[in-house]
């Protein structure tokens, strides 16, 4: 393990979970330099290459639902041994600055000119050094990046000395923010609600499986906006840096370029840390959408202490119909709530209730691992018995 890896931080989570707020907050700390979505194309490029070599047709950053378990199990080994050649590096040099115009404009073509081919970790370390050179100061102790939908990289990054944070938000709020208001400005065209659900469950599954790792931290968006001082102190302790100083203000945040940050809420600009959008989902989601989310995410919501407002029933799976226009055909073909996916979600729920004993393959298809299945099932059963 390279010595430099000991001072690295990786932040991830599903779309609209609060990861950008976290990267702005942490980047405000004098000892931390955290870039926002700077090398997303590196992560998607590596996963695309991995899937191609395994003859898998899938979104590169998929929710893993009903995905062959060996793909997750072998990813770490692949990342340590794969090589991205000069052609792949040229693609990154071209794509990264285009994407970064919105998130990390300081990472320019000139900054990437010296990027060399090599393994994933060799390239990533070069990228982290670019972060330091672009945004770091002589006070920087830890350099970090935030990349959404990249939870599957957390286990292998932890094995290689990184500290990792997964940010989770109430699934109803995250999905509302990804499909209502000015959501297209941040996430593009509408995704099927089932894809958003499964991406959220992916975050929860990794949070469960990594919970005992001392270099992993789960952050809930609600804790950040409702108890920011307490939460930031917990993060400082986790990272081993001093607490946020007196000069730090929760009312005014700046982006990585030093400009005032107005937030990236789907419901309008805001200054600093606010909890104004905490319950926007109540007015923006339909009753059917809320019921579907609570049914499909029930055990995870119980485990994470999110209160329900409906009485989730299996009938919602059969009667739910997408009412939002679907413009992402490649997403809809796999994660649209058709008969196949309705049957899968019902079967998954039955395994949580203990009505049937899942096969080993079913556990990996629906819950990622036996441990995640046991934890989620126990949470649900205990709640039902209380």
* pLDDT at 329 (0 to 100): 67
HEC readout, the chain: CCHHHHHEEEEECCCCCCHHHHHHHHHCCCCEEEEECCCHHHHHHHHHHHHHHCCCCCCCCCCCCCCCHHHHHHHHHHHHHCCECHHHHHHHHHHHHHHHCCCCCCCCHHHHCCCCCECHHHHHHHHHHHHHHHHCCCCCCEEEEECCCCHHHHHHHHHCCCEEEEEECCHHHHHHHCCCCCCHHHHCCCCCHHHHHHHHHHHHHHHHHCCCCCCEEEEEHHHHHHCHHHHHHHHHHHHCCCCCCCCCCCCCCECCCCCECCCCCCCCCCCCCCCCCCCCHHHHCCHHHHHHHHHHCHHHHHHCCCCCCCCCCCHHHHHCCCCCCCCCHHHHHHHCCCHHHHHHHHHHHHHHHCCCCCCHHHHHHHHCCHHHHHHHHHHHHHHHHC
- Check pLDDT > 90 for residue 49: yes
- Is it the case that residue 5 has pLDDT exceeding 90? no
pLDDT higher than 60, residue 47: yes
Instruction: List CB contacts of 248: < 8 A, sequence separation 6 or more.
Output: 28, 29
Query: What average pLDDT does the structure give for the chain?
Result: 93
Residue 331's pLDDT is what? 66
Q: CB burial class (10 A; 0-12, 13-18, 19+) of residue 30?
A: middle
Please state, for a pLDDT cut of 70, what percent of the chain lies above it: 97
- Residue-wise pLDDT for 124-170, tens only, equals 999 999 999 999 999 999 999 999 999 999 999 999 999 999 999 99
**In this structure, CATH architecture of domain 1-168+216-273:** 3-Layer(aba) Sandwich (3.40)
Place of tokens 């286990």: 155
A 10 A CB-CB count for 282 gives 12
- Domain residue spans of the chain: 1-168+216-273, 174-213+276-386
Query: In the prediction, which pLDDT does 178 show?
Result: 95
> Quick one: 329 exposed, middle or buried, by C-beta within 10 A (0-12, 13-18, 19+)?
exposed
- On whether the pTM is more than 0.95, the answer is yes
| Mean pLDDT computed over 281-309 | 97
Q: State the residue for tokens 């995704």.
A: 191
The pLDDT value recorded for residue 58 is: 86
In this structure, the dihedral spanned by the alpha carbons of residues 304, 309, 313 and 319, taken in order and rounded to 10 degrees, is: -110
Chain segment 189-229, per-residue pLDDT in tens? 889 999 999 999 999 999 999 999 999 999 999 999 999 99
Chain segment 340-378, per-residue pLDDT in tens = 999 999 999 999 998 788 999 999 999 999 999 999 999
2 pLDDT band, cuts 50/70/90, is very low
């Amino acid at each position: 393990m390279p010595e430099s890896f000991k001072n690295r931080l990786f932040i991830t989570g599903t779309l609209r979970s609060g990861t950008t707020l976290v990267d702005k907050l942490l980047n405000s700390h004098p000892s931390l330099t955290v870039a926002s979505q700077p090398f997303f194309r590196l992560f998607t490029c590596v996963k695309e290459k991995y899937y191609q070599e395994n003859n898998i047709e899938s979104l590169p950053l998929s929710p893993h639902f009903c995905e062959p378990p060996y793909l997750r199990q072998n990813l770490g080994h692949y990342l340590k041994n794969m090589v991205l050649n000069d052609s792949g590096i040229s693609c990154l040099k071209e794509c990264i600055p285009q994407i970064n115009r919105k998130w990390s404009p300081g990472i320019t073509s000139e900054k990437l000119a010296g990027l060399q081919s090599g393994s994933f970790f060799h390239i990533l370390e070069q990228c982290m050094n670019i972060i330091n050179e672009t945004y770091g100061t002589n006070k920087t102790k830890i350099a970090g990046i935030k990349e959404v939908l990249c939870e599957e990289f957390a286990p292998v990054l932890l094995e290689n000395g990184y500290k990792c944070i997964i940010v989770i938000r109430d699934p109803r709020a995250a999905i509302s923010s990804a499909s209502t208001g000015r959501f297209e400005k941040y996430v593009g065209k509408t995704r099927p609600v089932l894809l958003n659900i499964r991406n959220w469950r992916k975050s929860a599954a990794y949070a469960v499986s990594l919970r005992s790792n001392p270099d992993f931290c789960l952050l809930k968006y609600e804790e950040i906006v409702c108890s920011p001082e307490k939460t930031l102190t917990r993060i400082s302790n986790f990272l081993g840096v001093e607490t946020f100083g007196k000069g730090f203000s929760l009312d005014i945040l700046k982006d990585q370029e030093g400009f005032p940050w107005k937030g990236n809420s789907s419901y309008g600009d805001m200054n600093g840390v606010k909890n104004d959008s905490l319950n926007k989902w109540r007015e923006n989601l339909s009753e059917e959408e809320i019921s579907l989310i609570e049914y499909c995410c029930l055990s995870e919501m119980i485990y994470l202490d999110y209160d329900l407002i409906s009485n989730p029933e299996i009938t919602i799976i059969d009667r739910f119909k997408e009412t939002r226009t679907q413009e992402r055909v490649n997403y809809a073909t796999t994660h649209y709530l058709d008969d196949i996916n309705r049957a899968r979600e019902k079967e998954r729920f039955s395994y949580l209730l203990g009505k049937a004993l899942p096969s080993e393959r079913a556990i990996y298809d629906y819950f990622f691992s036996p441990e995640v299945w046991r934890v989620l099932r126990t949470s649900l059963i205990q709640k039902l018995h209380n």
